[in-house]
Amino acid sequence: PCKCILSGQWQNDLGSQVHIFDVEADGSFSGEYRTAVSATQAPIQPALLCGSQQLHGEGQQPTFGFTVNWKSFSDSTTVFVGQCFVDKSGEESLHTMWLLREEVNSGKDDWKATRTGCNVFTRIA
């Protein structure tokens, strides 16, 4: 039952690091996101995240989502959605897809304001 409770430290394929604090009884959590990459020259400070995971699943491979509001020279937000998988040796991994929305100056630029991708996170020992 203690598999895939998201609290702890995770690293993804880009080298970004995520620290998820305690997961509440309703599945909600908060944390910090230190990205290893960004789409701007400006340095990106560690950002706060909040989200929630399924806790009542029998399968112990719950789905989850979280939101990151980035603090840099211009505003942007990423939402991650994914699932926690446990392999035969008990190793957990988070398979996610994300949408990154940057703040654009005009509705004319709305079409080009959202990037998407995927990341896999594994626990940092």
The contact set with ligand V8M (CB under 6 A) reads 12, 14, 16, 35, 37-40, 44, 70, 74, 76, 78, 98, 100, 102-103, 117, 119
Tell me which residue has tokens 């598999």. 3
Query: Which of 35/53 has CB closer to ligand V8M?
Result: 35
Compute the least distance from the CB of residue 67 to ligand V8M, in Å. 11
Nearer to ligand V8M, 103 or 110 (CB): 103
CA distance 104 to 106: 6
Instruction: Report, in Å, the least distance between residue 88 CB and ligand V8M.
Output: 27
Residue 6 or 100: which CB sits closer to ligand V8M?
Answer: 100
Cα Rg of the chain, angstroms: 15
29 or 80, CB closer to ligand V8M?
80
Could you give the count of Cα atoms lying within 13 Å of 84 in the half-sphere of its Cβ?
25
Nearest-approach distance from CB 118 to ligand V8M, in angstroms: 9
Which residue's Cβ has the minimum distance to ligand V8M? 16
